[in-house]
């Protein structure tokens, strides 16, 4: 069955050799080495005994359950979708540094998904789906797998949109709000996720900086389009935070408000005020960071954030 | 677009077409354990992580103890082993994606386990590379078209092929090929005399044992519920893997066609003789026979009958 399909050319054979394994991007190689020294286990490295959900009101616990459930769905995208990038690195014969590092990233994202699920579960309940089915469209996918398998979508565009936009804003919000997580178990989990994600983002920027000298005008346009799509079609649809959804009609008020209530209880999440502050700053930062590559990220109109 | 990038685009389109055949239903997205033994294997993976850079005493590896001929042989052996490990990066990643495409509500134990496996494969690859480098240099190319072809199968695409039941894929690559690979590593470990090589093989074998346990546990949870067509596909795929891949020399150099097995076979014999991490053809032959018997017996418990095969050198196996 396998070799028959191979012989009938139902499968396309990789051009695997020569197979270089020597590091050619020392900064990325260092991230791979560092990742191996910082492994952790959500079951044992979080002080779960200090979670004490019984100390919070029913409304607060429910909000935190919703927040951590939605984080689980988001992290799951990094198991279900972005590993496709590793396949692309291998078949495009990208440098071994990228291939090695990305295996750790997949592992770490699996850990984040498990940890977020555990947090919701230990708060009393994990929600396996949004309350109204249409919301699934907004929070269900960031579309990276489709992009990774699409030869017309450049790798640079995927990196810029997934790593330097979607992951960067996620971490900017985490960084800006981790101090509000007064619950020790929640705080520790956020710190551990943050520690991994900082490496993921460094990976994206390091690759793009290294490739930038060879960017063509088409590459630049691809990056601009991919980042714009990620902001407008993913962030502004509420993938990370439903409050940001421009057309948030299908999410329930409880879901939209969950981040704020959870955050104010010290159980993780962020408030609209945090978004108002962090999101424009994030856009200013990536615009400035990408400008030397010739990339221009447009201004966006958002009903609550204004022109950002 | 160069020839390489055209080929890569063809490959990407092949993946793209495969992915489009699935309709992913992500919600409800369930995380609670379904098969506790699989979740336990995932927990073990988290608890037993290791780092090739720091947990192997490289400073105690003295390549100068060995003659130039031995170093050359061992560097070839560990280079070829790296080529055998490398596909695991993409095959296990594709299998993870396959589980995700098939269902959000089923298979989370397997998904979590598989989210770890590519990194474990990468660590094994790093070990092979580091050993080859210390023995004189990693060889990135078989330099022989026949060997390159026989060690490069498109199993990553098979993992995403909706026409190949996921159980059939795991039976062929996990229960048979991974089991053989584990048993060979254990054989190499038994023969190895160099303490650094022994610790490298022991660490790799520990992970490999978990990978094999994953395959058998997953099959144990699913095979009893398979219909006749899927059961036939399992047997057909395993038989194909054995007849056309394993017996063609995918894991065992002495099974390669005679005209291409040298100098790799001589290199492995010298590596085995010096205790640097290989087995002799006679030892490997016995491992292969024992593995096939083991796989056949375990399948028989599910009333899956793996047919016997005739091989010019091995006879009936």
| CATH (domain of A179) | 1.20.1260.10
Instruction: Tell me, yes or no, whether A245 lies in a domain.
Output: yes
List the one residue out of B148, B159, B13 whose CA is nearest residue B88: B159
A131 touches chain B (CB under 8 A): no
Q: What is the pTM of this model?
A: 0.96
Task: State whether residue B129 sits within 8 Å of chain A by CB.
Answer: yes
The answer as to whether A194 is a domain residue is: yes
* pLDDT score of B281 more than 60: yes
Determine the pLDDT at residue B237.
97
Which pLDDT band holds residue A6 (cuts at 50, 70, 90)?
Answer: confident
Residues of A in contact with B142 (CB under 8 A): 17
Search chain B and give the residue with CA nearest A135. Answer: B27
Expressed as residue numbers, the domain containing A116 is 57-293
What is the rounded average pLDDT for all residues in chain B?
A: 96
Q: Which of A80, A96, A104 to mutate to test the interface with B (most CBs of B within 10 A)?
A: A80
pLDDT-derived band at B4, boundaries 50, 70, 90: confident
User: How many separate domains does chain A show?
Assistant: 1
Q: Which two tokens stand for residue B209?
A: 């044992």
Residue A97 lies in a domain: yes
Long-range contacts made by residues A90-93, C-beta under 8 angstroms, separation at least 24?
Answer: A90/A14, A90/B89, A90/B90, A90/B156, A91/A14, A91/B8, A91/B11, A91/B12, A91/B15, A91/B90, A92/A155, A92/B5, A92/B8, A92/B12, A93/A15, A93/B4, A93/B8
Parallel/antiparallel/unpaired status of strands B310-311 and B315-316:
antiparallel
Domain definitions of chain B by residue range: 35-316
**Selection from B86, B82, B20, B41 nearest residue B207 by Cα:** B41
* CATH no. of B35-316: 1.10.620.20
Mean pLDDT of B198-211: 98
Residue of A nearest to B20 (CA): A146
Confidence band for B298, pLDDT divided at 50, 70 and 90? very high
| Phi, psi of A249, rounded to the nearest 5 degrees | -60, -30
Span A52-75, average pLDDT: 96
Q: How confident is the model at residue A137 (pLDDT cuts 50, 70, 90)?
A: low
- ipTM, two decimals, is 0.97
Q: Is B46 close to A111, i.e. CB distance below 8 A?
A: yes
Gyration radius from chain A CA atoms? 20
- For residue A106, the chain B residues in CB contact (below 8 A) are 93, 96, 115, 118-119
pLDDT at A142: 67
Q: B29 and A72: CB-CB below 8 Å?
A: yes
Q: Exposed, middle or buried, B292 (CB in 10 Å: 0-12/13-18/19+)?
A: buried
Nearest alpha-carbon partner for A121 in A178, A66, A183, A190 = A66
Exposure string for A46-82, b = 16+ CB within 10 A, e = fewer? bebeebebeebeeebbbbbbbbbbbbbbbbbbbbbbb
- Give the one of A80, A87, A103 whose C-beta lies nearest to B94's C-beta: A87
B204 lies within 8 A of chain A by CB = no
B193 burial type by CB count under 10 A (0-12 exposed, 13-18 middle, 19+ buried): exposed
**pLDDT tens string B208-238:** 999 999 999 999 999 999 999 999 999 999 9
Q: How large a percentage of chain A has pLDDT more than 90?
A: 80
A94 within domain boundaries: yes
Instruction: Tell me whether A15 touches chain B (CB under 8 Å).
Output: yes
Specify the 3-state DSSP secondary structure of A94: coil
Which tokens go with B51? 């780092």
Per-residue pLDDT tens for B142-188? 999 999 999 999 999 999 999 999 999 999 999 999 999 999 999 99
Which pLDDT score, from 0 to 100, does residue A10 have? Answer: 87
A104 touches chain B (CB under 8 A): yes
Q: Which residue of chain A is at minimal alpha-carbon distance from B27?
A: A129
| Contact criterion met (CB below 8 Å) for B88 and B39 | no
| Contact indicator for A183, A135 with CB cutoff of 8 Å | no
Taking an 8 Å cut-off on Cβ atoms, the answer to whether A1 and B164 are in contact is: yes
Tell me the mean pLDDT in the region A90-104: 97
CB proximity A16 to B under 8 Å: yes
Which residues of B, range 220-239, sit inside 8 Å of A by Cβ?
A: 233, 236-237
For strands A301-302 and A306-307, give the pairing.
Answer: antiparallel
What does the pLDDT read at residue A133? 64
pLDDT band at B29 (very low <50, low <70, confident <90, very high): very high
Select from A90, A107, A149 the Cβ nearest to the Cβ of B89.
Answer: A90
Of B32, B96, B148, nearest to A83 by CB-CB distance is B96
Give the pLDDT of residue A140. 60
Task: Give the three-state DSSP class for B276.
Answer: coil
Taking the Cβ of residue A8 and every Cβ of chain B, the question of whether any pair is shorter than 8 Å is answered with no
Model pLDDT, residue A138: 59
Strand partners, B311: B315
Q: Is B48 on the interface with A (CB under 8 A)?
A: no
From residue B112, alpha-carbon distances to B29, B95, B214 in Å are 13, 12, 12
Query: Residue A250 domain-assigned?
Result: yes
**B220 in the Ramachandran plot: left (φ > 0), alpha (ψ -120 to 50) or beta?**
alpha
Nearest to A19 by CA among B87, B252, B75: B87
Q: Are strands B315-316 and A306-307 parallel, antiparallel or unpaired?
A: unpaired
* Shortest Cα–Cα distance, A301 to chain B (Å): 30
Backbone φ, ψ for residue B59 (5° rounding): -70, -15
- Mean predicted lDDT score pLDDT of chain A: 93
Shortest CA gap B158–chain A (Å): 7
pLDDT digits (tens, 9 = 90+) for B90-126: 999 999 999 999 999 999 999 999 999 999 999 999 9
Across the range A204-220, mean pLDDT stands at 97
pLDDT of residue A38: 96
């Amino acid at each position: 069955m396998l070799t028959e399909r191979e012989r009938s050319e139902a499968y396309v054979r990789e051009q695997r050799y020569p197979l270089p394994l020597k590091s050619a991007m020392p900064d990325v190689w260092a991230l791979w080495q560092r990742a191996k020294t910082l492994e952790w286990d959500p079951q044992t490295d979080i002080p779960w005994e200090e979670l004490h959900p019984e100390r919070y009101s029913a409304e607060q616990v429910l909000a935190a359950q919703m927040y951590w459930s939605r984080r689980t769905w988001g992290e799951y995208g990094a198991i279900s979708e972005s590993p496709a990038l590793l396949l692309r690195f291998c078949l495009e014969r990208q440098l071994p540094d990228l291939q090695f590092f990305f295996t750790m990233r997949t592992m770490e994202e699996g850990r984040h998904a498990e940890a977020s699920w555990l947090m919701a579960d230990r708060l009393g309940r994990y929600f396996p789906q949004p309350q109204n089915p249409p919301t699934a469209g907004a929070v269900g996918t960031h579309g990276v797998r489709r992009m990774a398998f699409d030869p017309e979508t450049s790798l640079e565009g995927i990196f810029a949109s997934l790593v330097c936009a979607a992951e960067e804003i996620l971490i900017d919000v985490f960084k800006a709000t981790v101090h509000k997580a007064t619950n020790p178990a929640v705080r520790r989990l956020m710190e551990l996720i943050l520690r991994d994600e900082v490496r993921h983002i460094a990976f994206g920027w390091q690759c793009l900086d290294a490739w930038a000298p060879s960017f063509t005008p088409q590459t630049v346009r691809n990056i601009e389009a991919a980042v714009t799509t990620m902001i407008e079609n993913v962030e502004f649809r509420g993938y990370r935070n439903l409050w940001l959804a421009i057309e948030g009609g299908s999410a329930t008020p409880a879901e939209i408000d969950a981040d704020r209530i959870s955050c104010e209880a010290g159980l993780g999440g962020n408030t609209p005020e945090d978004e108002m502050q962090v999101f424009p700053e994030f856009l200013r930062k990536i615009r400035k960071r990408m400008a030397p590559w010739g990339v221009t990220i447009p201004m966006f109109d958002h009903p609550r954030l204004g022109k950002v | 677009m160069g020839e390489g990038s055209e080929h890569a685009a063809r490959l990407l389109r092949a993946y793209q077409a495969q992915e489009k055949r699935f309709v992913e239903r992500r919600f409800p997205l369930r995380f609670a354990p379904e098969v506790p033994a699989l979740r336990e294997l995932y927990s073990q993976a988290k608890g037993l992580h290791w780092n090739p850079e720091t947990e192997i005493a490289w400073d105690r590896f003295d390549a100068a103890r060995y003659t130039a001929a031995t170093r050359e042989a061992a560097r070839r052996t560990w280079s070829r082993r790296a080529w055998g490990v490398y596909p695991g990066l993409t095959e296990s990643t594709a299998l993870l994606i396959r589980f995700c495409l098939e269902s959000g509500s089923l298979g989370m134990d397997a998904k979590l386990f598989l989210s770890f496996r590519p990194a474990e494969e990468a660590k094994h690859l790093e070990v092979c590379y580091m050993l080859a480098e210390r023995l004189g240099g990693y060889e990135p190319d078989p330099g022989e078209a026949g060997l390159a072809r026989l060690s490069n199968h498109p199993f990553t695409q098979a993992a995403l092929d909706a026409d190949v039941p996921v159980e059939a894929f795991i039976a062929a690559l996990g229960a048979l090929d991974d089991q053989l690979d584990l048993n060979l590593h254990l054989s190499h470990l038994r023969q190895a005399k160099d303490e650094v090589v022994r610790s490298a093989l022991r660490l790799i074998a520990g992970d490999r044992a978990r990978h094999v346990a994953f395959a058998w546990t997953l099959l144990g949870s699913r095979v009893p519920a398979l219909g006749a067509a899927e059961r036939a596909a399992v047997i057909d795929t395993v038989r194909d893997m054995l007849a056309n891949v394993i017996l063609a020399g995918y894991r065992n150099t002495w099974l390669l066609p005679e005209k291409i097995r040298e100098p790799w076979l001589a290199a492995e014999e010298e590596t085995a003789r010096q205790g640097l991490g290989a087995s002799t053809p006679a030892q490997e032959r016995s491992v292969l026979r024992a593995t096939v018997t083991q796989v056949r017996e375990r399948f028989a418990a599910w009333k899956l009958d793996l047919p016997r095969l005739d091989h010019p050198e091995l006879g009936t196996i």
